[in-house]
Structure 1
Amino acid sequence: MVKKIREKKKIAVDELTDALAVAQSAVFTDYRGISTSELTTIRVKLREAGVGYRVLKNTLARRAADNTHHTNIKSAFEGPVAMAYSSSDVVAPARVLMDYLASSKSTLKVTGGYLSNKLISVDEVAELAKLPSREVLISKVLAGMQSPVAGLAMVLNGPARGLAIVLQARMKQLEG
């Protein structure tokens, strides 16, 4: 019996270690007072955005953090904690949770987050949620890079166009 429980805990630590190892960002929440149906709704919204959500046992979460390079997040595992995490989009966990909190009367509380190997505050999580997605940022950078090139092409093309217009006008003048 005890051996089975230890084996289940080891599996839980291994799964959480894997989740922490690939997580680029995470948002920690206090889920006290949340109904099962509301928690399910939150999980569905997070899953649609490619974000994982786990309710954590603090002792097991601390052991998992010790197994990864995220040892500085152990202090976040106090009280009832659940973690929304993403391995692909840094902003997604914060954005989905903050959008959900803004649109509902949920008692879910964001207690902090994790980004770039450091803990972040609730205010920083809110700021992170306001950032546009990675794709939008990339398109803005590319548009910013394209604009000067297009302007340069117009400037370089201007004299040639002017010369063509003058030559065409002179041809019309000689014909008529």
Structure 2
Amino acid sequence: MPGVTFARGERVSLHTVERDDAAFYQRGRNHPDVRGPLGLADPTNLAQSEETVEDWVERDDSANLLVCLPPEDPDADPTPIGTVNAWELDRPRGKVSYWLLPEYHGEGYATEAMTLFLDHLFDARSVRGVQAHVFAHNDSSRALLDRLGFALEGTLRQNNFVEGAYRDEHVYGLLRDEWVGAE
């Protein structure tokens, strides 16, 4: 069950990640349409997902939130559909990632969630900018970063073996002034 509401948009809300959200992480990180674009080769069981939540999500230099749809019934829990994540926030340029379950792709939810998340990062953290790494064949993710104003900063050629081939990995960057000044 998602934790408390951290930020609200028009169609999505961001919620704290709680330990019992490990099953949701397991579901998403094992889905073929999520696993491949994230570069995750091996299956993840529930115990490993619990470790991910404990070790990764609870780090001091990170911010991790569930992307949720609001319930139709005000007494029900929101529906988690993905995550937004940042780490190395103690450095001048932190790193960001995101994923949604495939049934929610193409609806604008990732754009709204990342907009809320970037607003938070640049308002609450002293990072100079953020980076996102995306595989060259992941057209949807590259388009999302373009929409958000990220600039392509470089390519790590054949950087990872993903989905049966060595894949180029693009490095995108967004500076604080580009985000804050664009509002």
What TM-score, normalized to structure 1?
0.28
Highest Rg: 1 or 2?
1
Larger helix fraction of residues: 1
Larger strand fraction of residues: 2
What TM-score, normalized to structure 2?
0.27
